[in-house]
A and B are shown apart, each in its own frame.
Chain A
Amino acid sequence: MQTSVVYPKRQLGIRGRAVAGKVITYALLLLLSISFVLPFLWMVSTSLKLSQDVFTYPPSFFPNSFEWTNYPRGWRVLPFNTFLINSLIVTLANVAGNILSCSLVAFGFARLNGRGRNILFLLLLATLMIPREVTIIPRFLMFSAAGLTNTLWPLVLPAWFGYAFFIFLLRQFFMGIPLDLDHAARIDGANNWQILTQVILPLSQPALASVAIFAFIGNWSNLLDPLIYLRSTELYTLALGLNLFRGQNFTQFNLLMAVSIITLIPVLLMFFFSQKLFVQGVSLTGMGGR
């Protein structure tokens, strides 16, 4: 009799624990989600407040009125249209340069043999470990000697010489494409360039898109290089312009937030339309984007 009582009790205990586990999981997920989303909501809420409502104590989470005009007002405080154009030039030139140079190099490493290939590939990966601070001073002095400081060139040129993370990502993807396709194309008389452009690249669109997205986001939010190289305001990128805005109007948080949100829109759009590609890029390399 004792056993017949104990046995169902234990079974119920296990099921009860499973249910409790689920409840705790969802409770944690919900709590964490709220704390991850709240900063965004706070940002939007602040961007819609009147100046005097930003500094009330205790602060209200919801704006008293929705001041949509904060967005155009903030945008007009500084020549943000010029900054936007500069950012687009720099970012798109980086995306194009990275796609072209990294595809070439990745194809070399994935499909062609040559002495020293493995050592060169290890060197390539090792460059990911070099702290930026070590290379940034010589780079600056080099661009300075070439008379290219205070132009957009230093922000654009390096991308055309490959970037280890993207080369690695593309090489991993290329190596997943069956060699038979190359052989077939070669029998048909294709050379390496034709194999790359007509066989490999059309099959690598997801990987290329990952590279394009990572390159776009990385350059779009880059503050360090513009900070070092650009002096004239008409050359500023959005990130640097936002930094200038922050320095000048430190108390106008509503306008500052409004402009910040505008600068984030391309990144957010890109994220929502291509989340799969992000995750794919990550699982292909085991690395994040930056």
Chain B
Amino acid sequence: MTNAQPTPITTPPKGKPKLGGMARKEERSFYLFILPWIIGFLLFDAGAIIASFGISFTNWSALSAPAYVGTLNYSRLIADSVFYKAMGNSLYYGLGSVGLGTIVSFLLALLLNQNVWGMSLFRTIFYLPSVVSGIAVAILWIMILHQDFGLINSFLAWFGIKGPGWLVQPQWAMPSLILMSLWSAGGSMVIYLAGLQSVPTHLYEAAEIDGADTFQKFWTVTVPMMSPVILYNLIVGFIASIQGFVTVYVMTNGGPANATLVYGLYIYRTAFINFQMGYASALAWVLLVVIILITVVQFIVARYWVYYEGDLKS
């Protein structure tokens, strides 16, 4: 475990002031070195986003030529009940998995931060599941959540409880996927643990002198000091969870009764199963706008609970 602090995202130290000619030469080298990314950015990011916006005003099957249809895709979207369902599902999943995931990973980090014996073994155990992702894990969880032969229901059967059909009953399917996402909580746990270990001990000592007990120390020192890290994880986690769909694709393919049809899966089906590139692009653009809005709201709300060191406001 290194205690390396993340280097702040500021400009690198500028070298001593240079002559115009030297500076221009350096500037040329700068652009030469970052050229691969510039090309990739123009081609795969900026270009793609602009193209996607253009495509959203067309009817395009990718096999024939695109036909301009104006805002037809957007008016279709407003009347599309599956669109609302999919957006609702993604928000449900995002709130559930990020909310519970934050609590679980923070709890794990707190437990590991108490100088426990065997800390690195425990850390490995909690971290490992977040590293193995993808289809193999999805298949494993189909098995674990199986109604009759699964791990969870056989565990419940010990206590005489007949577990539900986790993935086949509409009301249980999404909670099952959220439960499964908690298995990867170790990823953010490592980030929180690094943050906890860099909280200066003198703050705790000062709180102790003031007579604070464990819970007061937690709420007045740990939480404020960790709040920027938590905010960062909330934003990134939410963006990742609202667009993820591969696990859902493998486990339920959106079923039962569209209960797990998340937004990404709806876009995938529209674009690559039904080949409606125009409508899929309109759906994608709405997602982009929603993500930007949610991120902005998170930053605004953050003013009230995130504490930055060096900030003079209370």
| A interface, CB within 8 angstroms of B | 25-26, 28-29, 32-33, 36-40, 42-43, 46, 54-59, 61, 101, 104-105, 107-115, 117-118, 120, 123-125, 127-142, 144, 158, 160-162, 167, 172, 175-176, 179, 192, 217, 220-224, 227-228, 239, 242-243, 246, 253, 256-257, 260-261, 263-264, 267-268, 271-272, 275-276, 278-280, 282-290
CA distance A5 to B312 in the complex (A): 48
Contact A139 B44 (CB under 8 A): yes
Which partner residue on chain B sits nearest A60 by CB separation? B154
CA distance A38 to B150 in the complex (A): 12
Residue B295 interfacial (CB < 8 Å) = yes
Which partner residue on chain B sits nearest A100 by CB separation? B36
Contact A224 B246 (CB under 8 A): yes
Contact of A36 with B129 at beta-carbon distance under 8 Å, contacts A131-B287, A133-B267 already known: yes
Contact of A287 with B144 at beta-carbon distance under 8 Å, contacts A111-B12, A223-B246 already known: no
Residue B257 interfacial (CB < 8 Å) = no
CA distance A81 to B212 in the complex (A): 62
A138-B51, A267-B132 known; 5 new pairs, CB 8 Å cut-off, are A36-B125, A101-B37, A260-B140, A271-B128, A276-B2
Chain A residues, Cβ within 8 Å of B295: 129
Cβ of B222 to closest chain A Cβ, rounded Å: 16
Chain A residues, Cβ within 8 Å of B187: 288-290
| B interface, CB within 8 angstroms of A | 1-7, 9, 11-15, 23, 26-41, 43-45, 47-49, 51-52, 55, 62, 108, 111-112, 114, 116, 122, 124-136, 139-141, 143-144, 148-151, 154, 157, 183, 186-188, 190-191, 194-195, 229, 232, 236, 239-240, 242-243, 246, 249-250, 263-264, 267-268, 271-272, 277, 280-281, 283-285, 287-288, 291-292, 295
Cβ of B73 to closest chain A Cβ, rounded Å: 12
Q: Is the interface of A mostly helix, strand, loop or mixed?
A: helix
Contact B133 A134 (CB under 8 A): no
Cβ of B263 to closest chain A Cβ, rounded Å: 8
Contact A25 B288 (CB under 8 A): no
Cβ of A189 to closest chain B Cβ, rounded Å: 15
CA distance A162 to B40 in the complex (A): 7
Cβ of B151 to closest chain A Cβ, rounded Å: 5
Chain A residues, Cβ within 8 Å of B246: 223-224
CA distance A138 to B47 in the complex (A): 8
Contact A33 B125 (CB under 8 A): yes
Contact A239 B134 (CB under 8 A): yes
Cβ of A197 to closest chain B Cβ, rounded Å: 12
13 A-B pairs with C-beta separation under 8 A: A25-B111, A42-B144, A43-B140, A43-B143, A55-B148, A57-B148, A111-B12, A133-B243, A133-B264, A161-B41, A284-B7, A286-B191, A286-B229
Which partner residue on chain A sits nearest B281 by CB separation? A137
With most chain A CB atoms within 10 A of its CB, the pick from B44, B194, B281 is: B44
CA distance A253 to B285 in the complex (A): 39
Chain B residues, Cβ within 8 Å of A175: 7, 12
Cβ of B157 to closest chain A Cβ, rounded Å: 5
CA distance A285 to B141 in the complex (A): 31
CA distance A110 to B9 in the complex (A): 11
Contact B30 A134 (CB under 8 A): no
Cβ of B251 to closest chain A Cβ, rounded Å: 10
Other-chain contact of B143, A46, A141, A220, A221 (Cβ < 8 Å):
A46
Chain B residues, Cβ within 8 Å of A257: 139-140, 143
Other-chain contact of B114, A25, A117, A276, A289 (Cβ < 8 Å):
A25
Contact A161 B37 (CB under 8 A): yes
Contact A58 B190 (CB under 8 A): no
Contact B49 A130 (CB under 8 A): yes
Chain B residues, Cβ within 8 Å of A28: 111
Which partner residue on chain A sits nearest B270 by CB separation? A137
Which partner residue on chain A sits nearest B264 by CB separation? A133
Contact B37 A246 (CB under 8 A): no
Chain A residues, Cβ within 8 Å of B136: 221, 242, 260-261, 263-264
